[in-house]
C-alpha cells in the first residue's frame, strides 16, 4: 500500500542526541533480535566435497566477524567457507564465477566454482592499522563493470574522505584512485558501464565518477538536511540503480525515497511506508526495489526491522523481520529474497532470513559469522 503519513523526522544534532540514540538503537532497533552475538551455526552435516563444483543458486556471504566467505545452500545452510582477509564487507560476483570481496586488508579474489581464494590485492591507499568494527579502514562497497573488466571498490579512510580504487580484473592490480565521499558504504555502476556511483555515508552524498576519464562529481543527497553532521543518523547507506531510466534510488528511514538523476544532480523525494532505519537495497530487472529495515533508531518513534518490497508504481509491501539485518539479494527467478543478518552495528545475528516474496513467509537459515554482503551464484 502507498502511504500518506507525514514525513516527520528532522536531522539529529551531535552530542545532544548521539548518545541517547546510540542507546536507543541498541534497545529499539534490536527488538526481537537474538541478543548480542548469536550462537555459532549448527554444524554442517554434508559439506560440499572439495572437487564438487558449487551448484548454481548457492548463496555467498561475506563473514565480517570471521574473515571469510561462506557458501550457503538456500535449503540446508552453510556447505563451505573460504578465508579471504580481515573483516570482509561487500562482495560482487562476475559472470566468470570470480567473487571480489572488499576486506580490511585488500580485495580478495575467490574462485566460487572451486571455492578457493586466488589473490589478495592490497589497496593503494593508506587506510591505517588493519582492524575490525564498523568504522574500520579498508574496502566497503564494491561493484563490477558490466563487461567484467574492472572492479570498483570504495575504500574507507578513517577520519577523512574515502577513495574509489579501480582494479583491472585481468591483472588483479589497482590501476587508479579517485577521491570520493566519507565512508563509501556502497558502489554501483550504470547499466552501460559509463559511470560509477559511490555512496558517501558520512558526507551525505553520491559521487558520480566517469569510467573513462575517472572524473568525480559530487551530488548531495540529504532529504532531512545535514544539520546533524557526523552525529546524524539520517544519512544515505545503499543505492540502487533503476534499470528503466538509470535513476539512483536511496531510501531513508522508511519514510523518504530520494530519486536522484545522476546527469543533472536533481533529487525528488517520494514517500515510503516502513518507518524504520534503512540499510541494504537492491532492484530487480523489472524495477522492483527491495530495502532492508534495521529497526527504529528511537523506539518511541518508528517500527521494527523489515523488508520493504516496492513495486515500480510505488506501492509497497512491508514484511516484518526478526532482528536487525544488513543487505539483500534476490533469487534468479525473482521469487525469493535473502536478507543477511550481520548488520553493521550491535544486535546482529549469524544467519540469513529467507523471504517468500509472494506470501511474505519467512524462515531463518544459519550462515557464517556476522554476514554482511550477499550474492546469489
Residue 103 CA to residue 122 CA, distance in Å, equals 10
pLDDT band for position 138 (50/70/90)? Answer: very high
Mean pLDDT taken over the chain: 89
For residue 327, tell me if it sits in a domain: yes
Decide which of 186, 220, 254 is a domain's last residue. Answer: 220
Task: Give CA 143 to chain center in angstroms.
Answer: 11
For residue 142, tell me if it sits in a domain: yes
In DSSP terms, 167 is beta-bridged to 151, 174
Structural domain including 191 reads: 79-220
pLDDT band for position 47 (50/70/90)? Answer: confident
**8 A C-beta contact, residue 325 and residue 339:** yes
pLDDT-wise least confident of 49-53, 179-183, 224-228, 317-321: 49-53
Structurally, the chain folds into a number of domains equal to 2
Residue 367 CA to residue 251 CA, distance in Å, equals 26
Q: Is the pLDDT of residue 257 over 60?
A: yes
206 and 232 both lie in a single domain: no
In the 3-class helix/strand/coil scheme, how is the chain assigned residue by residue?
A: CCCCCCCCCCCCCCCCCHHHHHHHHHHHHCCCCCCCCCCCCCCCCCCCCCCCCCCCCCEEEEECCCCEEEEEECCCEEEEEEECCCCCCCEEECCCCEEEEECCCEEEEEECCCCEEEEEEECCCCCCCCCCCCCCCEEEEEEECCCCCEEEEEEECCCCCCEEEEEECCCCEEEEEEECCCCEEEEEECCCCCEEEEEEHHHCEEEEEECCCCCEEEEECCCCCCCCHHHCCCCCCCCEECCCCCCEEEEECCCEEEEECCCCCCEEEEECCCCCEEEEEEECCCCCEEEEEEECCECCECCCCEEEEECCCCCEEEEECCCCCCCEEECCCCCEEEEECCCCCCCCCCEEEEEECCCCCEEEEECCCCEEEEEEC
Other Cβ atoms less than 10 A from the Cβ of 58: the count is 18
365 and 275 both lie in a single domain: yes
338 and 377 both lie in a single domain: yes
Note the pTM of the prediction, 2 decimals: 0.90
**Averaged over 296-321, what is the pLDDT?**
95
**270-294: per-residue pLDDT in tens?**
999 999 999 999 999 999 999 999 9
**218-253: per-residue pLDDT in tens?**
999 999 999 989 889 899 999 999 999 999 999 999
Residue whose cell numbers read 559530487: 218
Task: Return the CA Rg of the chain.
Answer: 19
User: What pLDDT was estimated at residue 48?
Assistant: 86
**Averaged over 136-165, what is the pLDDT?**
98
For residue 283, tell me if it sits in a domain: yes
Q: Is the pLDDT of residue 261 over 90?
A: yes
Q: What CATH code is carried by the domain that includes residue 293?
A: 2.130.10.10
171 and 253 both lie in a single domain: no
288 and 350 both lie in a single domain: yes
In DSSP terms, 281 is beta-bridged to 291
Decide which of 220, 243, 273 is a domain's last residue. Answer: 220
pLDDT band for position 9 (50/70/90)? Answer: low
254 and 372 both lie in a single domain: yes
- Which residue did the predictor score with more confidence, 16 or 210? 210
141 and 194 both lie in a single domain: yes
282 and 236 both lie in a single domain: yes
For residue 39, tell me if it sits in a domain: no
Q: Is the pLDDT of residue 345 over 90?
A: no
**Averaged over 157-170, what is the pLDDT?**
98
239 and 212 both lie in a single domain: no
Q: Is the pLDDT of residue 40 over 90?
A: no
**8 A C-beta contact, residue 215 and residue 236:** no
Q: Percentage of the chain with pLDDT > 70?
A: 88
Decide which of 180, 197, 220 is a domain's last residue. Answer: 220
Which of these, 325, 327, 375, 369, lies nearest to 66 by C-alpha position? 369
**170-196: per-residue pLDDT in tens?**
999 999 999 999 999 999 999 999 999
153 and 169 both lie in a single domain: yes
For residue 35, tell me if it sits in a domain: no
User: What pLDDT was estimated at residue 231?
Assistant: 87
Other Cβ atoms less than 10 A from the Cβ of 178: the count is 18
156 and 92 both lie in a single domain: yes
**115-128: per-residue pLDDT in tens?**
999 999 999 999 99
**350-366: per-residue pLDDT in tens?**
999 999 999 999 999 99
**Averaged over 199-216, what is the pLDDT?**
98
Q: Is the pLDDT of residue 20 over 50?
A: no
For residue 265, tell me if it sits in a domain: yes
Q: Is the pLDDT of residue 41 over 80?
A: no
pLDDT band for position 300 (50/70/90)? Answer: confident
For residue 62, tell me if it sits in a domain: no
369 and 233 both lie in a single domain: yes
User: What pLDDT was estimated at residue 15?
Assistant: 31
For residue 136, tell me if it sits in a domain: yes
Residue 215 CA to residue 237 CA, distance in Å, equals 22
Please list, residue by residue across 275-287, b when 16 or more beta carbons sit within 10 angstroms of its beta carbon and e when fewer do: bbbbbbbbbbeeb
Amino acid at each position: 500500500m502507498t502511504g500518506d503519513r507525514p514525513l516527520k523526522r528532522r536531522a539529529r544534532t551531535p552530542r545532544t542526541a548521539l548518545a541517547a540514540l546510540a542507546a536507543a538503537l541498541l534497545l529499539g532497533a534490536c527488538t526481537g533480535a537474538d541478543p548480542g552475538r548469536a550462537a555459532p551455526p549448527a554444524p554442517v552435516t554434508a559439506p560440499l566435497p572439495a572437487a564438487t563444483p558449487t551448484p548454481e543458486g548457492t548463496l555467498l556471504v561475506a563473514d565480517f566477524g570471521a574473515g571469510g566467505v561462506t557458501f550457503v545452500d538456500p535449503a540446508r545452510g552453510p556447505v563451505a567457507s573460504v578465508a579471504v582477509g580481515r573483516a570482509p564487507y561487500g562482495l560482487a560476483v562476475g559472470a566468470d564465477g570470480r567473487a571480489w570481496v572488499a576486506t580490511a586488508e585488500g580485495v580478495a579474489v575467490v574462485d566460487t566454482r572451486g571455492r578457493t581464494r586466488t589473490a589478495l590485492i592490497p589497496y593503494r591507499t593508506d587506510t591505517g592499522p588493519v582492524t575490525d568494527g564498523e568504522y574500520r579502514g579498508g574496502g566497503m562497497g564494491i561493484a563490477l563493470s558490466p563487461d567484467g573488466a574492472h572492479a570498483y571498490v570504495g575504500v574507507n579512510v578513517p577520519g577523512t574522505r574515502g577513495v574509489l580504487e579501480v582494479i583491472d580484473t585481468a591483472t588483479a592490480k589497482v590501476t587508479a584512485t579517485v577521491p570520493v565521499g566519507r565512508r563509501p558504504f556502497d558502489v554501483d555502476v550504470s547499466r552501460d558501464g559509463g559511470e560509477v556511483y559511490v555512496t558517501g555515508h558520512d558526507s551525505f552524498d553520491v559521487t558520480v565518477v566517469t569510467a573513462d576519464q575517472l572524473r568525480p562529481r559530487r551530488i548531495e543527497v540529504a532529504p532531512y538536511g545535514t544539520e546533524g553532521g557526523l552525529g546524524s543518523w539520517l544519512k544515505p547507506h545503499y543505492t540502487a540503480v533503476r534499470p528503466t531510466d538509470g535513476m539512483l534510488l536511496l531510501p531513508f528511514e522508511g519514510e523518504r525515497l530520494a530519486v536522484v538523476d545522476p546527469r543533472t544532480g536533481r533529487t525528488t523525494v517520494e514517500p515510503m511506508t516502513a518507518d524504520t532505519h534503512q540499510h541494504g537495497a537492491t532492484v530487480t530487472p523489472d524495477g522492483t526495489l527491495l530495502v532492508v529495515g534495521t529497526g527504529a533508531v528511537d523506539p518511541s518513534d518508528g517500527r521494527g526491522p523489515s523488508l520493504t518490497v516496492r513495486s515500480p508504481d510505488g506501492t509497497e509491501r512491508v514484511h516484518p523481520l526478526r532482528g536487525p539485518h544488513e543487505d539483500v539479494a534476490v533469487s534468479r527467478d525473482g521469487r525469493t529474497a535473502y536478507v543477511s543478518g550481520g548488520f553493521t552495528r550491535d544486535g546482529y545475528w549469524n544467519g540469513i532470513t529467507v523471504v517468500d516474496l509472494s506470501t511474505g513467509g519467512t524462515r531463518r537459515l544459519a550462515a557464517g559469522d556476522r554476514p554482511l554482503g550477499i550474492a546469489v551464484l
